[in-house]
Amino acid sequence: MANDFPKHLVAGYGRYLTKGSIRHREAQEQLAIYGQRPDVMVISCCDSRVTPEGVFHAGPGELFVVRNVANLVPPYEETDGQHGTSAALEYAVRVLKVKHIVVMGHAKCGGVHAFRENANAPLATGAFIGRWIKLLEPAAIAMACMPIDRLDDPQLAMEYAGVRQSLKNLATFPFVDTLLRSGELALHGAWFDIGSGELRIMDRVSGKFEPCATDAQILPVAAAE
């Protein structure tokens, strides 16, 4: 019976209908009729504390979103098997023709933490998690070889390095590389601090992460109450 569907989700859906969806109703109708045309793809983490539509206060139709553990993009490879993230990338770039791809990392990433804790035995974290987070190995190697971040916080440094590696991997896809060269597509790195709500953007020249330049202030918790 459907009535074992979580009560709090039903309640949330009720709030969505009476509040959330109001300002978007017409847009939704239009999007249903004419289809989606997002110009931005966001690759972020499954973490319940990181919601791209929330961070960018985006409405229906604005962001094509992939969410996987630790916001990783595998490098291009032609082997068989299902490559979910690569499929989403192909769909975003070749079918939807997005203009921007944002890889958004975040603080306290459990996937990154699991990798750091089990660097010498990744499968100890679970066969699937382990094989997945091994995608961070090149990031760790690159970071160890020439660290460009303050390394007194290895978790943060690895979160940054993971974003950089995913950006590198994105460029290994022929259909991405072509558009990067023609300037029709741009790749961006970002990092979200789940506690303070601070967003940092990666400088593509220096590779460093800097606070997103906005006039809006991060409200202190007190003020927010």
CA nearest to 218, candidates 183, 184, 192: 192
DSSP state of 179: H
Counting residues that bind a second copy (by CB under 8 A) gives 139
For the bound state, the minimum distance from the C-beta of residue 178 to a second copy, rounded and expressed in Å, comes to 14
Conformational region of residue 197, where left means phi above 0, alpha means psi within -120 to 50, and beta covers everything else: left
For the bound state, the minimum distance from the C-beta of residue 92 to a second copy, rounded and expressed in Å, comes to 7
For the bound state, the minimum distance from the C-beta of residue 176 to a second copy, rounded and expressed in Å, comes to 12
Find the binder of a second copy among 103, 105, 156, 158 (CB under 8 A): 158
Applying CB under 8 A, does 80 fall inside the site for a second copy?
yes
C-alpha span between 88 and 147 (Å, rounded)? 31
* Cβ count within 10 A of residue 31: 17
Annotate each residue in 99-128 with x if it binds a second copy (CB under 8 A) or - if it does not, as one string.
-x-x----xx-xx--xxxx-xx----xxxx
Binding residues for Zn(2+): 45, 47, 106, 109
* φ, ψ of residue 187 in degrees (nearest 5): -105, 140
Task: Give 78's contacts (C-beta < 8 A, 6+ positions apart).
Answer: none
Widest CA span of the chain, in angstroms? 57
Find the binder of a second copy among 63, 167, 170, 185 (CB under 8 A): 63
Applying CB under 8 A, does 154 fall inside the site for a second copy?
yes
| Interaction residues for a second copy, span 18-47 (CB under 8 A) | 18-23, 25-26, 28-29, 31-33, 35-36, 38-41, 46-47
Applying CB under 8 A, does 184 fall inside the site for a second copy?
no
Applying CB under 8 A, does 147 fall inside the site for a second copy?
yes
List, in sequence order, the alpha helices (H) in the chain: 7-15, 25-34, 52-55, 84-90, 110-117, 127-133, 137-145, 154-170, 174-182, 221-224
Applying CB under 8 A, does 66 fall inside the site for a second copy?
yes
Applying CB under 8 A, does 171 fall inside the site for a second copy?
no
Applying CB under 8 A, does 174 fall inside the site for a second copy?
no
